[in-house]
Homo-oligomer: A and B are copies of this chain.
């Protein structure tokens, strides 16, 4: 089948979905064409609708159907706190803790020089603009505790340091409910280095 053939274009296009390789994409494409024509039309409509309506919030960068998202407009949120996360899913995870009442900034990724993802791609200039002239007092760097997340947090901290606000990072340590016997050495070493006063 030539590259230009619409079916091979669809197969290629389906491979943007996570976990979908060439074989699965091919099966999906045939399924959509042969048996699921109406499903394919619904998928098409949903895609058009979503791409049309969902934009990114001009404040926090998260997906939103309004120019400024509901969370950014919510006046009950603490205007002094900003939490920087990698993805919209991470924002949801933070919300589920019920332990955070401030605002967010979603990077939509992490720095990855090898993949050509630099500070522009994770919207760092916009983050600086967001902070300048705001009421913010603390920025919590809540990127993942992976190598890429740590590097991204470090880069952001370096960038924001001149702005003179408090910069903090999620605690590294033993998960709540964790037993020492099943923790990796690196985490245990960190939990030891960053030990806290007892009876706080």
Contacts and interface: CB of A to CB of B under 8 A. Distances in A.
Interface of A: 85-87, 89-90, 93-94, 96-100, 140-142, 144-147, 149, 153-154, 157-158, 161, 166-181, 183-199
Contacts of A195: 140, 168-171
Given A93-B185, A195-B170, A175 B177 contact: no
Given A174-B173, A191-B170, A89 B181 contact: yes
Nearest to A153: B198
A192 B145 CA distance: 13
B94 A180 contact: yes
Nearest to A142: B180
Q: Chain copies in the assembly?
A: 2
A169 B200 CA distance: 10
Given A93-B180, A183-B93, A196 B173 contact: no
Contact of A183 (B158, B174, B175, B180): B175
Interface centre among A89, A94, A141, A188 (most CB of B within 10 A): A188
A139 B109 CA distance: 41
Contacts of A178: 144-146
6 contacts: A97-B185, A98-B189, A99-B193, A154-B199, A169-B197, A171-B196
A173 B161 CA distance: 24
